[in-house]
Amino acid sequence: MSERASERRGRSGAGPRVVVVGAGIVGCSLADELTARGWTDVTVLEQGPLPAPGGSTSHAPGLVFRTSPSRTLTAFARYTVEKLTSLRVDGVSCFDPVGGLELATTPERLAELHRRAGYAASWGVRGEVVDAARCKELWPLIDESVVLGGFHTPDDGLARAVLAARGQRERAESRGARFLDRHTVTGIEKEDGHRGGGQAAGVTAVVTDRGVFPADHVVSAAGFWGPVIGRMAGVDVPLQPLAHQYARTKPLPCLSGATAEASRPILRFQDRDLYFREHTDRLGIGSYAHKPLPVDPFTLLGHGEARANGLEMPSSLPFTEEDWAPSWDDCRRLLPALRDSEIEEGFNGVFSFTPDGMPVLGESRAVRGFWLAEAVWVTHSAGVAKAVAEWMVEGRPGLDVHECDLTRFEDAQRSPAYIRDRGSQQFVEVYDVLHPLQPMERPRPLRVSPFHARQQELGAHFLEGGGWERPHWYEANAPLAAAADVPPRDAWSARYWSPVAAAEARATRERVALYDMTPLRRLEVTGRGALDFLHGMTTNNLRKKPGAVTYTLLLDGTGGIRSDLTVARLGPDRFQVGANSPADLDWLTRHAPDGVHVRDITSGTCCVGVWGPLARDLVQPLTGDDFSHEGFGYFRARETYLGHVPVTAMRLSYVGELGWELYTTADLGLRLWDTLWEAGRPYGVIAAGRSAFNSLRLEKGYRAWGVDMTDEHDPYEAGVGFAVRLDKGDFLGKEALRLRGEPRRRLTPLLLDDPASVVLGKEPVYVDGVAAGYVTSAAYGYTLGRCVAYAWLPVLPVGTGVSVEYFGEKVGATIADEPLFDPEMSRIRC
Ligand code: FAD
Ligand code: THG
């Protein structure tokens, strides 16, 4: 039996035996990054013939636009450009920096381009919004009368994908990697049975039509064949292959005489779902305008069969003219020169779409040593390969990849139906203007809390998160809103928002409100050794008597914050953990020793937060237990009954008011809600939604993991150092924390100067006119009468004036002292 994944070590100096499936851009780049880190026992198995084996890479036109709302994707793309720029094959650079230009033909798109310019500034990409005349200068073929403006990024450009794959392959080979083409992987072998302590079986070998290759690690870099390779290992790979049309025109007279492959920026016309690049004297055109064309990876032809059937490659399906026709009209409207031309050749090229549009990376929870590096664009390929190589060799990627972590999908997000529907929808939305709060439309409703019927009766306005229906505000509270004094908003920030949220926030501060906290992830940790385990995994002191609740952090080995948790000790060997992403379950399960069990109990249970100065008046009459401050202290937990309902009550509050989180099983949820509602009538209880919740938590300065802080940050710079007890004995990450120096950046609270201004998150922050950081979360603080924004910034004194860029406008803000609300904690500890 081979060792646990985390113990899989090198045999010689060459590192462990790694088998990579697929020699597309991702497999080649990964082999390069692994061998560069000293893992040189790397075998890449490829079914097709090198150097263009027939996957998506073989015909990718290679446009690299780096800017994305995702900081992680932008970082991946930046690295790809850096790496390919310096990679030369036969004297040719693998990157052609022709620049990028995105066009707006509608006011909505122009506003979106300003937001994209904001992301670019936040994530360190050079770019500016330009007028139509400048667009025409950059791209003389366009009809500038249809264009309102553009976003120009001079350092974007074209990746020479096949060349880059070859260059990285050859470098890996020079360090000892082998690439075996015409080897079709047909099976993945695993250890027999399961190990104890939650440890899963590990991989042992990869089977091909030409022999078996022993392996300590297997990486599936099989592109859209990922689900096929995954099934061989017993792992679901949540991606849907879809065809996407790409065509080339005949030679254009206006480009005749061109010698360079391309000289003008790569061009996007998102309003019509199109993009363009030059191929010397022709144009290449890609379209996302057609209906989704899903492809079943299990029935796709292999390379030889595809050839025999007249296809150039398995990933290149016949061009469907009828899907192309409307786009061709759009092309000719934008580029009048095309009116005299026609399409010379085209194909329906296949690549991967995931339910949320992000790659799927990381090691499987079920099969140790089985890794995925799937659903990756050429744009992000080198960045992804670097991160995965770091993850494998050093135990963690060098940047925050939680948005790409394969563990991010909930059970309800892994059905084939969900993956097909969501993948197709991602294709449709690829260039759409999407609001950060915009929920998916289908499949909904998917997960509902037991209170759903009551929420509907109260006119809940639901958004979606993690598959859950989540009320953002309740129309039933509209009469209260009339009295709320809130400034009007611009159209963008007014979407998925209502002044009713202000009334709900005020009612929480003045009276009492019920919040549906069911989606809050709950883990149960049990067994002898559970205390030692949790104590050693987290930063705060957990050696307290049953009944204690502790706010604590999960760190990785470098001292980065993997999560922030509340740990309630309900019995000597029984804990309830309030967690964040599904990765927390994975992390704790991986580390749990024999005899300690970690279980996600979220789905079978529910939670109501009862918060506000009258919360005690509401709850006390429902129980014979003493809920006074003396009888039930702050950060204490108790199992008791409220009316007929057995509950676990925890006295804490993410909104900064007196109150309790009340947990029960799903079957009793409705009864719990009704009991609290009845008891609350005399106190004017309301139901309140996440819009108010988010405002209240930011006033109180409570961080949201994954948004405000990630594993790129240590507790001190993130402002949660109070949860670290360096005097408590060993815990994961402690040594690394000691070595970290004084923070050079800080998660910094800002108050916008103008009471009528709002920002939403991810905007760049300028100090002395220079982009110095970015906003993480922001919300209007209804109690403070100002918008609160948290931002990563260099360490600066309280009172410093900065500006936040919102739609191209600079909005004044001032660094504030936190917590902004109730610094004496008098509202909570009472
Ligand atoms: P692939 O290149 O598909 O490589 C996977 C490899 O695995 C294949 O070579 C395959 O043969 C091999 N394999 C599969 N199963 C087995 C098996 N059982 N045994 C052995 N080997 C196996 N991205 C951009 O960034 N910019 C663009 O402009 C762009 N334009 C595109 C245009 C089109 C028309 C298409 C189709 C895609 C485009 N993409 C673009 C997306 C991009 O091409 C892909 O996301 C990327 O190439 C995927 O690389 P990969 O290495 O993951 O997969
Ligand atoms: N409830 C429960 N668990 C959770 C959350 C929750 N786990 C995940 C996430 N939310 C954790 N985040 C926080 C953030 C702040 C607080 C609680 C959970 C909090 N902090 C107080 C403070 O900072 O003043 C108290 C800290 C202390 O006394 O140590 O209340 O919402 N169950």
Residue owning the nearest CA to atom 27 of ligand 2: 551
Question: Among residues 79, 119, 246, 275, which one is catalytic?
Answer: 275
The pLDDT of residue 1: 33
Q: Mind listing the pLDDT tens digit for each residue in 119-132?
A: 999 999 999 999 99
Asked whether 554 lines ligand 2 (CB < 6 A), one says no
The identity of residue 817, as a single letter, is D
Q: What is the largest CA-CA distance in the chain?
A: 90
The pair of three-digit structure tokens given for residue 161, joined into one six-digit string: 């994908």
CA of residue 321 to ligand 1 center, whole Å: 23
CA of residue 476 to ligand 2 center, whole Å: 29
Q: Mind listing the pLDDT tens digit for each residue in 781-804?
A: 999 999 999 999 999 999 999 999
pTM above 0.95, yes or no: yes
CA-angle at 425, arms to 376 and 151, nearest 5°: 65
pLDDT at 29 over 90: yes
Asked whether 223 lines ligand 1 (CB < 6 A), one says yes
Q: Mind listing the pLDDT tens digit for each residue in 352-377?
A: 999 999 999 999 989 999 999 999 99
The pair of three-digit structure tokens given for residue 513, joined into one six-digit string: 């409100």
Task: Please tell me the distance from the alpha carbon of residue 521 to that of residue 411, in angstroms, as a whole number.
Answer: 13
The model's confidence at residue 661, banded by pLDDT at 50, 70 and 90, is: very high
Ligand nearest to the CA of 703: 2
Asked whether 783 lines ligand 1 (CB < 6 A), one says no
The percent of residues above 70 in pLDDT, for the chain, comes to 98
Asked whether 222 lines ligand 1 (CB < 6 A), one says yes
Q: Mind listing the pLDDT tens digit for each residue in 220-266?
A: 999 999 999 999 999 999 999 999 999 999 999 999 999 999 999 99
Asked whether 578 lines ligand 2 (CB < 6 A), one says yes
Asked whether 635 lines ligand 2 (CB < 6 A), one says yes
The pLDDT of residue 59: 87
Mean pLDDT of the chain: 95
The pLDDT of residue 311: 74
User: How would DSSP label each residue in 516-543?
Assistant: E-TTSEEEEEESTTHHHHHHHHBSS---
Contacts (Cβ under 8 Å, ≥6 apart) of 455? 449, 462, 469, 471, 474, 516, 687
Whether 244 is catalytic is: yes
Residue owning the nearest CA to atom 2 of ligand 2: 578
The average pLDDT across 290-309 equals: 84
Question: Among residues 155, 330, 564, 584, which one is catalytic?
Answer: 564
Contact in structure between 283 and 249 (CB atoms under 8 Å): yes
The pLDDT of residue 665: 98
Question: Of 44, 56, 430, which is best to mutate to test ligand 1, by the most ligand atoms within 8 angstroms of its C-beta?
Answer: 56
- What burial class does residue 594 get, using C-beta atoms within 10 Å of its C-beta: 0-12 exposed, 13-18 middle, 19+ buried? exposed
Atom of ligand 1 nearest to the CA of 351: 36
pLDDT at 12 over 70: no
Asked whether 60 lines ligand 1 (CB < 6 A), one says yes
Q: Which residue did the predictor score with more confidence, 484 or 464?
A: 464
CA of residue 406 to ligand 2 center, whole Å: 26
The pLDDT of residue 8: 52
CA-angle at 700, arms to 699 and 704, nearest 5°: 95
The model's confidence at residue 621, banded by pLDDT at 50, 70 and 90, is: very high
Ligand nearest to the CA of 168: 1
The average pLDDT across 505-531 equals: 98
The pLDDT of residue 482: 81
Task: Please tell me the distance from the alpha carbon of residue 685 to that of residue 615, in angstroms, as a whole number.
Answer: 9
The pLDDT of residue 195: 46
CA of residue 20 to ligand 1 center, whole Å: 14
Whether 275 is catalytic is: yes
CA of residue 167 to ligand 1 center, whole Å: 17
Asked whether 184 lines ligand 1 (CB < 6 A), one says yes
pLDDT at 2 over 60: no
